[in-house]
């Protein structure tokens, strides 16, 4: 049985699209939007996790899609158009983070990071922009505190997310006259399974990275996915209707 706990109508009659919605931050944001009245479409490469998220709320549907494939991006845009005819909220959340020093980096690591973290963001935004303009909606791009403090081994991720931040500023200026808002959320260390899905380092190194992130956070603990989801809800709702071109660091003070 699907649950609709703490339902409100803050996003009633709105449509949201969240990439990487099967787990972690994407799932938290999708559920937050759905629980506040939005119809939410999530996308990702793994149907099993997408279905698990969709099963939590009748307002969530999903499309299996790979953001590195143009035909999949068009499939997602067509799904939203055919089923809803509008798009109020686009959250570009999906990303990939290779953790390697440049001395060990392969060009394939660069290709994958920028294909997912940058090209996928651009391609999906272009494909859905007519629907966003129609709704005078808003775009939320998920970056990272790594752009402020890259750290050893994070050059590709920090570089890709820095590109997203700069593009977001330009888009905010370009789209403001049409009533479309563009903002960025930069999470710090958040308690999700991304700590154990880097594919590039050992399990022991992953755990040490997590412990180091806790030690480097002034508040003394890492955040929860809901901390990011709450900020996304604020920016997507009427409460954030005078905010565009901003970058919110939700990081427990790590950016300082």
Least confident range of 52-61, 142-151, 236-245: 142-151
What value does the mean pLDDT take over residues 215-244? 94
CB 99 within 8 A of CB 148: no
- Of the candidates 62, 79, 110, 157, the residue annotated as catalytic is 157
What does the mean pLDDT of the chain come to? Answer: 91
Closest to 57 in 3D by CA, of 23, 93, 32, 83: 32
Q: Is residue 253 part of a domain?
A: no
Residue 133 is predicted with a pLDDT of 98
Pairing of strands 138-142, 181-187: parallel
Closest to 90 in 3D by CA, of 37, 138, 39: 138
Contacting residues for 155 by C-beta, under 8 A, at least 6 apart: 101, 102, 105
Closest to 165 in 3D by CA, of 123, 212, 121: 121
Q: Is residue 103 part of a domain?
A: yes
Residue 240 is predicted with a pLDDT of 97
Structural domain boundaries, residue 103: 15-194+225-244
Pair of tokens at residue 135: 């709704």
Q: Is residue 202 part of a domain?
A: no
Residue 32 phi, psi (nearest 5): -65, -45
Q: Is residue 217 part of a domain?
A: no
Alpha-carbon distance of 183 to 242, in angstroms, equals 11
Q: How far is CA 105 from the centre of its chain?
A: 25
pLDDT higher than threshold 70 for residue 124 = yes
Q: Is residue 236 part of a domain?
A: yes
Residue 220 is predicted with a pLDDT of 85
Please report, for the domain that includes residue 65, its CATH number.
3.40.50.720
Least confident range of 49-63, 149-163, 172-186: 149-163
Pair of tokens at residue 3: 């649950």
Active-site residue flag, 110 = no
Residue 200 is predicted with a pLDDT of 47
pLDDT higher than threshold 50 for residue 1 = no
Using pLDDT thresholds of 50, 70 and 90, give the confidence band for residue 33: very high
What value does the mean pLDDT take over residues 165-173? 98
90-94, 198-202, 250-254: range with highest mean pLDDT:
90-94
pLDDT tens for 213-223 read 778 888 988 89
Percent of the chain at pLDDT above 70?
91
Number of domains in the chain: 1
pLDDT higher than threshold 80 for residue 198 = no
């Amino acid at each position: 049985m699907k649950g609709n706990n703490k339902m409100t109508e803050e996003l009633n009659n709105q449509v949201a699209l969240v990439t990487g919605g099967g787990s972690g931050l994407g799932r938290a944001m999708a559920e937050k939007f759905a629980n506040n009245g939005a119809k939410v479409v999530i996308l990702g490469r793994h149907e099993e996790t997408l279905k698990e998220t969709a099963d939590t709320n009748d307002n969530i549907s999903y499309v299996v899609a790979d953001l590195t494939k143009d035909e999949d991006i068009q499939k997602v845009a067509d799904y939203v158009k055919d089923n809803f005819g509008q798009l109020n909220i686009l959250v570009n959340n999906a990303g990939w983070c290779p953790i390697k020093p440049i001395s060990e980096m392969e060009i394939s690591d660069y290709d994958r990071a920028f294909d997912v973290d940058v090209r996928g963001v651009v391609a999906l935004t272009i494909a859905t922009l007519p629907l966003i303009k129609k709704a005078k909606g808003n775009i939320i791009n998920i970056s990272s505190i790594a752009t402020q403090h890259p750290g050893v081994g994070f050059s590709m991720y920090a570089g890709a997310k820095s590109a997203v931040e700069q593009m977001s500023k330009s888009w905010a200026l370009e789209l403001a006259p049409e009533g479309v808002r563009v903002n960025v959320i930069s999470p710090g260390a958040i308690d999700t399974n991304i700590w154990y899905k880097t594919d590039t380092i050992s399990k022991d190194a992953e755990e040490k990275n997590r412990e180091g992130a806790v030690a480097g956070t002034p508040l003394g603990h890492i955040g929860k996915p809901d901390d990011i989801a709450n900020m996304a809800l604020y920016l997507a709702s009427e409460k954030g209707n005078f905010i565009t071109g901003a970058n919110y660091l939700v990081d427990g003070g790590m950016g300082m």
